[in-house]
Structure 1
Amino acid sequence: MTITAAIARTPNADFEVAQVELDQPRADEILVRIHGVGLCHTDIAIRDRRIPLGMPAVLGHEGSGIVEAVGADVTKVKPGDHVVLSFNSCGTCVMCAQHKPVYCRNFGTLNFSGTRADGSHTLHCNGEPLHSFYSQSSFAEYSLAYEGNVVKIPDDVPVELMGPVACGIQTGAGAVMRSLACRPGSSIVILGGGSVGMSAAMAAAVQGCTTIVVSEPVAERRALALELGATHVIDPLNEPLTEALRAIIPLGIDYALDTTARQDVILAALDALAPQGTLGLIGVPASMDAAIPFTLTQLMGSGLSIRGIHTGDSDPDTFIPQLIELYRQGRFPLDKLMKTYRLEDINQAVHDQHDGKVIKAVLVTGAVRTDNG
């Protein structure tokens, strides 16, 4: 079938919006009509070759939409189901058996190989093969996905806005609710007020944290953080981070969650931790070999923990429905982070998100529009 998609061809250059050919679903594949897809920092990092993937490619890994057709072997969903597309996992390895699919032993092959398992491509442009991403390539009108990365969601939520739950939102929320498992009455600082950081702030409120600090240089984002549950905000350009945090809680913060991947920010947060405090790292670094020098005596003397976190340690089949239920209850207003753009306007969305004009850009297809678009 012929569909519209956004193709990444050149680092640091605009996406090419073009007509491409998408295969019909095989026996184990699911055809989804994409209604919305979040624009994630990881998509841009891959386009710019900071994370390796074959090119040219159709990116997009925060897709949501309605199932249009399923292969003969598919039993998890049926045509008409509303779904979110997250990462793929094998379902059979030792990590999947422990309900830790984000650490699936086959994660790299399933999500970053750019092809099907047999090496074939699902997408072509004028006969040229296009690499796929995260078993979905949802910067497009339609997507081929698999049972491993499809999560059914209720029909009474705006399906076009649910895609970001697949990555950015479950990364931030999962870091707080699953990875760090912040205890009620505890304190946390969230470094960065993008969609991941804001999701973490909302999750901290859900967890019952009593001191929720967001460090963010953009004034509008600091104001939104307070609206979403933060008790304090810090402008890191106006005051030293460690001193500002110590002024709020002199004995130290229980948890710090970094979304910036900046060495100076991470070390400043480490200095503000309470004894036996935990630092979680979820920011995507500028280079794959980025390293930060920690002082071992500081870690041992105060019993500090440093925790690397991948996609919030999420099990999408259980965690995505949990987050959507919180949204339905009004306890997790994820739509306040979003602004919609047409898929054809992807390059404007990239520039606006980079410039801080929008926290989470969501690309919608065809006639699908929302009130904030």
Structure 2
Amino acid sequence: MKYFDYAATCPLDQEAAEVYVKAASSYYGNSSSLHDAGDQAHELLEYSRAQFACFFSVSKDGVYFTSGGSEGNFLGIQTLLSSKLKKGKHIITGAAEHSSVLNTMDKLRESGWDITKLSFAPDGRINLADFLNVIREDTVLVSIQHANPEIGTLQPIEEIGRVCQEHRILFHSDCVQSFGKVNLVPVARSVDSLTISGHKFYGPKGVGAVYLNPELRWDPYVPGTTHEGGFRPGTVNVPGIAAMAVAAEKAVGGWEVYEKHYRTLREAFLKSLNPILAKCNLYKADLPSTVGMRINGLEGQLIMNEANQRGFAISTGSACQVSQQAPAKTMVALGVEGKAAKEFIRITFGRETEMEDVRQLGDALVKIVGENL
């Protein structure tokens, strides 16, 4: 199987896997225990925390470890709401946010919060003028995803952050898709919280991190919580965190090299589509590892199944929603409706992706189109 779904998840880096096994077998104490075994685990945990603080160029007092991106988004939003800078019940978010954010917003709406969802301009980004137009006196929180997982566009986080600071609005950003692919230091300086997830950059599943502005005063979402400074309950996954730190160091240290690799692959892939290019709608991407597209007249589900039978793993959008058979959220945010919205497919490259793999996938898509249109 040729794998082209790296935006959904990545294989575990071999060195990270070795660190996980070593930590799980040698540093197995509970990091909150007061004996020597607990102290050893605690030292490894704090070393990893300092590493992530370095990746973001922030204080390690603002780094908290979670079970992944979904929990991180939920707790990041809830924690900011407990520390809001002014009175109000209005929140602004994007229409194409990850389901963990949109589901949280739906739950908050049930509790009396007023939620405004912003659609995309044709370039796949939130229009700053539209954002400014929906800000109100009672707007207390903004949650905007940094990198879109379906077409690979980056939102203007720094500009949005400046506006939020001017209006005393707290700002959360889901950076799950962008960590290890771009420099996040400017983003960390522009937000009050951000979320990442280990398995998106070759770390283990079930572990992630949140940066939360340490200058904020906040209340634990679960009262009485002591782990991670009260940010989340449950025994801390020290082996997973240590392994994630190894994977993160490789991702952050090599992102410029990987980006060049992905640009080369993207160019070759698009060239291989020349015979059917007139039938394709290709979406521009800031992340070259992501190709979002539609083939006119063919449902994405059909193309994905046909590709799978030929030995290629592609997707029809975010893995958290494909089981619902709903159109990709990005298509909805872009105003693509009806059958056209269900034509979307996503191809994402990884470090292991080779040039010949890309050409073979392109040839396979050309054949699929020829057989079904």
TM over 0.5: no
Q: Larger strand proportion, structure 1 or 2?
A: 1
Pick 1 or 2: higher relative contact order, CA cutoff 8 A, min separation 6.
2
TM-score by length of 1: 0.35
Higher share of residues assigned helix: 2
